[in-house]
Structure 1
Amino acid sequence: MKASLLELDPQADALLILQKPNLHSSHLSIDECASETIIDWMSQDSMYPEPEEDDLANVNEEMRSLKPCLENGDPNQVVFRVSAKHLCLASPVFRRMIQGHFKESEPNDQGLLEIRTSEWDAEALVIILDIIHGHHSSVPKQPSMDVIAHIGIIVDYYDCLEVMKIFFQHWHSSIKIWEKYSTRPSESSLDWLDPTAYGLPPLRHRIKPFDYEATTGLFMAWIVQDQARFRDLTVSAVLSTDALVETALPIPVKIFGMSFNAR
């Protein structure tokens, strides 16, 4: 159990300093009403220990309320006490920073390494750090899709899917947007047969509009390597859009480029 929100390791040998927290959080926000229906709240099982709901709510609210800058205009920052070993095991990016010839590998006056990062969604970063440090009872069972998207961005940047995979796959499988993109025929029918011969509407008319929700789903399917759902959403992007899809999510440009060229 953590002694405090910012202390991930009571014997910390490093400080992870998040500067300008939540700088891009508003750029990814989903409509709140839509967001509430995305996660199947009632289907969650007991794979995780039950956290104190009030404590988690307070932590999440505290992280969401952080501003990128202070009132005087100076950058805001949050300092987490972390284990360098845990970070190195979880992420080759952190490992290169800490074990390479970078300033992060040199301890400060207190003997602690200082690892700086910036602009991440603070709530998402706390969840990742909790998982990396084994504080699984502090991890929410069902983060909003917006938070999951931010987690995916950080996981992609630090290349730490392996340590996150069991949580990410559980959240991923609980997302209800997949139902919107599962109405097409089987792959063999889609590839070789005319759906109208089976009393189905033309494929283009059955494809849902490719909106922010779908883009986030595509990103998540790509992160967890869910080929079936990734294919469904790629088909939707090809058939329901007339131009390249714009997004702040770090989806490789070549994916949208290939989809656009497939038209």
Structure 2
Amino acid sequence: YLLQASEKHLVLSSPVFKQMLCGLWKETTDLATEGFVRFEIKNWNLQPFLILLQVMHGRPAPKGLDVDTITDVALLADYYQCLEDFRRCMRGWLREAKKTLRPSHETYTKCLWVSWILRSATNFKDFGSLVVYFAEDLIEGEGLPFHPVVLG
């Protein structure tokens, strides 16, 4: 896929993009010589990445997302260090998603992680209880980058 994005929006929203586009990286040279940069997005799903770019560019965020997409957008926002731009959106998405959640350990673990990065104490407590309730064995992070203090 070929996506166009504003260098200024990316740099203002994310210190990671700022380092890539203004630092001593290959992307900086490409931008200066070619006027554009190619990023290889290997490990991200396209839809969450598009949502990330939408919000970074000040476009309206989608109204409702499923838990998997919310988690993927949160992972991207965490990776690109731009959580502040997404906190309000993610709180709204999580509030809407809670209405239709299918009970499962995996779903509640994802919601727990999103609650942790949003610093949402009430949601964190609620989802923490559900993760424990639905656990069939040792509680692990479902591959999410939980801080050791959460699962330790």
Task: Within 5 Å, give how 1:187-226 maps onto structure 2.
Answer: 211-226=105-120
Aligned residue number for residue 84 of structure 1? 7
Aligned residue number for residue 142 of structure 2? 247
Question: Distance in 2 between the 1:234 and 1:152 partners?
Answer: 18
Native 8 Å contact 1:86 1:133 kept in 2: yes
Count residues with an aligned counterpart.
Answer: 150
The question of 1:146 aligning with 2:68 is answered yes
Q: Percent identity?
A: 29
Question: Distance in 2 between the 1:235 and 1:165 partners?
Answer: 23
Aligned residue number for residue 22 of structure 2? 99
2:114 maps to a residue whose letter is: M
Structure of higher RCO (CA pairs closer than 8 Å, 6+ residues apart): 1
Of Structure 1 and Structure 2, the greater helix share is in 2
Unaligned runs of at least 5 residues, structure 1:
1-77, 181-208, 258-263
Higher deviation after alignment, 227-236 or 152-161: 227-236
Q: TM-score, normalised by structure 1?
A: 0.51
> RMSD of aligned C-alpha atoms?
2.5
Q: TM-score, normalised by structure 2?
A: 0.83
Per-residue CA distance 1:172-200 (angstroms, 9 max, x = gap): 222326999xxxxxxxxxxxxxxxxxxxx
Task: Within 5 Å, give how 1:21-170 maps onto structure 2.
Answer: 78-107=1-30, 109-136=33-60, 139-170=61-92
Per-residue CA distance 1:200-253 (angstroms, 9 max, x = gap): xxxxxxxxx861111011011112110122123334445654413240222234
Change (3 A) 1:179 1:149: closer
Per-residue CA distance 1:2-30 (angstroms, 9 max, x = gap): xxxxxxxxxxxxxxxxxxxxxxxxxxxxx
Of Structure 1 and Structure 2, the greater strand share is in 1
Task: Within 5 Å, give how 1:8-27 maps onto structure 2.
Answer: none
1:93 maps to a residue whose letter is: V
Question: Distance in 2 between the 1:126 and 1:147 partners?
Answer: 11
